[in-house]
Chains A and B, each alone.
Chain A
């Protein structure tokens, strides 16, 4: 276990740099903003000069920039994300409320995408039949369509015309179907291509030839020997998939009026609610960093060749 611990320790400084960087980027964005954060926070059309001055003092805006930065980073380190300008409640509570619906949506969409992509890739890898051409066309159309448009089309067809699903999704299981399908559609094209490329590479390897020589059926070769090797390219692109799921949730939650972190982010940006924007950015950067480290660790579990090289 010692190499694993050392490996994790080696990753830590880079993770800290990324997190501090994310916080710094939001701090800079905060101070580049035209207009006074105190006035945005007050929200009243014509506040008196004295009121603005008091608010500025309360928010610490009259202190030197370097001091403000240290206070900001110090608060973040203690998990204090500040108060939302728009909702007038702690940002941490706003994010906490949106977190689970978004995770639920992302998990459902990812599971759905895997269920669709794996059989498609297994059936079409290395084959030049009509089915492969059809699958390729569908992937191209899915990759080239904005997810909000797919969402709008599904909404028109299934909610307005066929009345199968609610127009406003809420948090019911029935309301999860269309958002999950929309979000899955945005990643299934890329996922199928990655799996197919990995599978085709594995099918070219000598171990595939020897499995065939032993008399294994084609389906057996693909499922037992080929599919395991697609895990590595899958892990390589999982960072992209995570990003697509998160940014997809911003759009999908807006289209289906679903509660979640993405919608919190969208509303905060249009309303210029900077503490909330900062909170969402820092929390998702944290989630990303942790998940990426976990995925890197997964490489070593999945690919024994790497473990031997490290030892």
Chain B
């Protein structure tokens, strides 16, 4: 731990090897496509995701249905496209909620004296003692299943991590000259917390949020897969995979394409997120040196 040579050059070389520019560009293009599916699904899929047609049930991929059909004859492509909205709402929404709540609580803990700090951090410790998904399951057991409920449950599960990062940032920033200057100038405590500490604590929190989104999308799909997400007819990737289990011996398409949608989206989020983190860390290294 005491050796002076940093691992930074090696890390940078490795990063350059595993995140070439074309890959990052492709990731952002994919994310733009997913964003389009969220904002305007009818542009990408012509068919109604809930239009059932028993005559063509469980058809393989072909000219009429590019991704085949499910057990009710619904178009899998349309359901995958329309499924982007609830699937990403749970994943991205929970991360955003955890980011906002965690940043505020963490900064509050770092700058409001020992009593507040003690309470916030003990609660965070207790929450961290649960494996993430178990905590989400417990919250769902209390508030019930559903899209918003799953989102809230996952936000509860990821908030302790954000609190920890925000607090450690806040503890450093609290001693910065510009914060002391603001104190001397007689600014109120809330103003200092919101205008000076919070914005400067934000960059590592945003980088962590980007990494967290990928995991949260998977956790959200997992909750839906367990039947704790949006109710039946809503197209959602995890729920679609759960239904497909009953027809594995006859149709592979409904079991493959929704999963592919999750994996490809999460890969794109992870590649873009790591690239952002690398850029952020590169910038961070300059003032530290």
Contact = CB atoms under 8 A, between A and B. Distances in A.
A228 B18 CA distance: 26
Nearest to B264: A144
B222 A148 contact: yes
Nearest to A243: B131
A106 B191 CA distance: 49
Contact of A265 (B134, B144, B238, B262): B134
A132 interface: yes
Contacts of A143: 214, 266, 270
Contact of B126 (A18, A29, A144, A270): A18
Interface centre among A147, A152, A266, A284 (most CB of B within 10 A): A152
Interface in A187-213: 200-201, 204-206
Given A145-B259, A200-B7, A305-B1, 11 more contacts: A29-B142, A144-B218, A149-B259, A152-B259, A153-B256, A156-B248, A160-B249, A242-B131, A251-B225, A270-B226, A277-B138
A301 B169 CA distance: 32
A26 interface: yes
B133 A153 contact: no
Interface string B212-228: 00100010011001111
Given A18-B126, A153-B259, A144 B270 contact: yes
A285 interface: yes
A32 B143 contact: yes
Given A146-B259, A152-B259, A250-B137, A136 B18 contact: yes
A66 interface: no
Interface string B76-111: 000000000000000000000000000000000000
A149 B263 contact: yes
Contacts of B130: 22, 281, 284-285, 288
Interface string B143-186: 11100000000000000000000000000000000000000000
Contact of A149 (B132, B133, B141, B241): B241
A121 interface: no
Given A160-B248, A247-B133, A21 B259 contact: no
Interface residues of B, number: 54
B5 interface: yes
B125 A17 contact: yes
B271 interface: yes
Interface of B: 1, 3, 5, 7, 10, 13-14, 17-18, 122-123, 125-127, 129-134, 137-145, 214, 218, 221-222, 225-228, 238, 241-242, 244-245, 248-249, 252, 255-256, 259, 262-263, 266-267, 270-271
A204 B7 contact: yes
B248 A269 contact: no
Contacts of B214: 143-144
A193 to B, nearest CB: 10
B131 A265 contact: no
A29 B138 contact: yes
Contacts of B3: 205-206
Interface centre among B138, B141, B256 (most CB of A within 10 A): B141
A146 B222 contact: yes
Interface centre among A141, A143, A255 (most CB of B within 10 A): A143
